[in-house]
Amino acid sequence: MHCLLALAALVTTVTAAPAPTAAKKGLTVDDMLAMQRISEPDVSPDGRLVAFTVRDTDVEANRGRTDVWLASTDGAWARRHTTHPDNDGSPRFSADGKHVLFVSTRSGSAQVWRVPVGGGEAEQLTKLALDVNGFVPVPGGERLLLALDVWPEAKTLEETVKRDEELGKSKVKARAYDALLFRHWDGWEDGKYSHLFVWSPSAPETATDLTPGQRTDSPTHPWGGMEEVALSPDGKTMVFVARAGGKTGDDLRDLAWTTNTDLFLVSTDGKGKPVDLTADNKAYEFGPVFSPDGKQLAFTMMTRPGYEADRTRVALFDLSSKKRRVLTEAWDRSAGELSWSRDGKTLWTSADHLGHHAVFAIDVATGGVKPLADKGTNQGAVQAGDRVLFQKDTLTSPVELWTMKPDGSDARAITKLNAERTAKIAWGEYQQFTFKGAKGDTVSGFAMKPAGYKSGKVPVAFLIHGGPQGSFGDHFHYRWNPQAYAGHGYGVVFIDFHGSTGYGQAFTDAINGDWGGAPYEDLMLGLDAALKQFPWLDGSKAVALGASYGGYMINWINGHTDRFKALVCHDGNIDEQMAYFDTEELWFPEWEHGGTPWDKPDGYAKHNPVDYVKNWKTPTLVIHGGNDFRVVDTQGMGTFTALQRRGVPSRFLHFPDENHWVLKPQNSARWHQEVLGWLDRYTGRK
Across 18-22, 28-32, 126-130, 260-264, least confident range: 18-22
* Contact predicate 512/648, CB 8 Å: no
Cα(295)–Cα(340) distance, rounded to whole angstroms? Answer: 13
SS3 content of the chain, % helix, strand, coil (to 5): 20, 30, 45
Domain locations in the chain as residue ranges: 426-683
Q: What are phi and psi of 613, to 5 degrees?
A: -60, -30
* Contact predicate 522/499, CB 8 Å: no
As a whole number, the mean pLDDT across the chain is 94
Residue 540: exposure state from Cβ atoms within 10 A (0-12, 13-18, ≥19): exposed
* Contact predicate 364/345, CB 8 Å: yes
- Please state, as a whole number, how many other Cβ atoms lie within 10 Å of the Cβ of residue 649: 15
Residue 431 to residues 28, 237, 603, 678, Cα–Cα distance (Å): 21, 49, 37, 27
* Contact predicate 630/185, CB 8 Å: yes
SS3 state of residue 376: coil
Cα(127)–Cα(119) distance, rounded to whole angstroms? Answer: 22
What pLDDT is recorded for position 252?
A: 66
pLDDT one-digit tens code per residue, 7-57: 223 222 233 444 455 679 999 999 999 999 999 999 999 999 999 999 999
* Contact predicate 116/98, CB 8 Å: yes
pLDDT one-digit tens code per residue, 603-613: 999 999 999 99
Percent of the chain with pLDDT over 70: 94
Residues 6+ apart with CB under 8 A from 149: 130, 131, 133, 160, 192, 193, 194, 195
What's the average model confidence in pLDDT over 637-647? 98
Residue 75 to residues 72, 322, 342, Cα–Cα distance (Å): 6, 42, 21
Handedness of CA 123, 125, 127, 133 (dihedral sign): negative
What pLDDT is recorded for position 251?
A: 54
DSSP H or E run through 496: strand 491-496
Residues 6+ apart with CB under 8 A from 189: 177, 181, 182, 183
What pLDDT is recorded for position 245?
A: 57
Cα(605)–Cα(607) distance, rounded to whole angstroms? Answer: 6
Residue 454: exposure state from Cβ atoms within 10 A (0-12, 13-18, ≥19): exposed
Nearest of 503, 448, 447, 517 to residue 471 by alpha carbon: 503
Handedness of CA 543, 548, 551, 557 (dihedral sign): negative
What's the average model confidence in pLDDT over 98-127? 96
Nearest of 542, 588, 606 to residue 568 by alpha carbon: 542
For the domain 426-683, what is the CATH code?
3.40.50.1820
What pLDDT is recorded for position 23?
A: 77
Q: Give the N- to C-terminal CA distance of the chain in Å, as an integer.
A: 60
Nearest of 152, 176, 160 to residue 250 by alpha carbon: 152
Bridge partner residues of 436 (DSSP): 442
What pLDDT is recorded for position 248?
A: 38
| Amino acid identity at 366 | T
What pLDDT is recorded for position 18?
A: 47
Question: Quick one: angle between helices 518-533 and 549-558, nearest 10?
Answer: 80
Residue 163 to residues 215, 239, 267, 446, Cα–Cα distance (Å): 17, 29, 29, 54
Decide if pLDDT at 452 tops 60. yes
Cα(569)–Cα(6) distance, rounded to whole angstroms? Answer: 68
Cα(602)–Cα(4) distance, rounded to whole angstroms? Answer: 93
What pLDDT is recorded for position 249?
A: 40
Cα(40)–Cα(101) distance, rounded to whole angstroms? Answer: 13
Cα(208)–Cα(156) distance, rounded to whole angstroms? Answer: 8
Question: How do beta strands 111-116 and 123-124 pair?
Answer: antiparallel
What pLDDT is recorded for position 80?
A: 97
What pLDDT is recorded for position 598?
A: 98
Residues 6+ apart with CB under 8 A from 608: 575, 576, 577
Q: What are phi and psi of 581, to 5 degrees?
A: -80, -15
What's the average model confidence in pLDDT over 357-366? 98
pLDDT one-digit tens code per residue, 190-248: 999 999 999 999 999 999 999 999 888 877 644 447 889 999 999 999 999 998 754 43
Bridge partner residues of 403 (DSSP): 389, 412
Burial 414-453 (b: 16+ CB within 10 A, else e): bbebbeeebeebbbbebeebebebbeeeebbbbbbbbbbb
pLDDT one-digit tens code per residue, 161-174: 999 999 999 999 99
| Amino acid identity at 363 | D
Give me the active site residues, please. 548, 628, 660
Residues belonging to the chain: 686
* Contact predicate 121/109, CB 8 Å: no
DSSP code for 180: S
* Contact predicate 300/314, CB 8 Å: yes
